[in-house]
Amino acid sequence: MFTSKTRNYITKILVDCMFYGGIAVCIALPFIMPGLLRFVGVASNMRLTYTIVLLASGIPAVYIVYQLKCMFKTLVGGNPFVAENVSSLRHCAVASAVIAAVYIVRLFMWFTIAAAIIVVIFSLLSLFSLTLKDLFKQAVTYKEETDWTV
């Protein structure tokens, strides 16, 4: 039977794998792009454009996972309602908005349904992160008031 500690440990491993894997992919992307485009069947003159779009969205995605790692530390530590998590959620919202903006620009260059879906998803993620930020901010305020009264 899974306990909370087991679930937290498995989640931590997955988040770490996503973080370090994302860094590795962002570093390797310029080198693997020619072979990848040949495999997919895209013209080689689009290599630079695809690389820029993928890096411009990959780096903020890795940053989002980094912020999740930071928030996860406070959760495992037993104190998730801290000001650092409010800041992390705000950073996640900005990074999500950057990814949505990159794909909005991409839509004007060449339209695909997948790019349109990515714009919608990351726009919603940005708004959701801002909503959670406000919720955490209010929880931090209540927690600090309670700590002062006890």
Work out the pLDDT band at 1, boundaries 50, 70, 90.
very low
Average pLDDT score over residue span 15-35: 94
| Cα separation, 142 vs 63, whole angstroms | 29
Average pLDDT score over residue span 93-118: 96
User: What is residue 85's predicted lDDT score, i.e. its pLDDT?
Assistant: 94
| Cα separation, 86 vs 135, whole angstroms | 9
User: What is residue 100's predicted lDDT score, i.e. its pLDDT?
Assistant: 98
Element (H, E) at 8: helix 4-40
Size of the chain, expressed as the number of residues it contains: 150
Contact assessment for residue 85 and residue 143, using Cβ atoms and an 8 Å cutoff = no
Which tops the pLDDT comparison, 26 or 9?
26
User: What is residue 2's predicted lDDT score, i.e. its pLDDT?
Assistant: 52
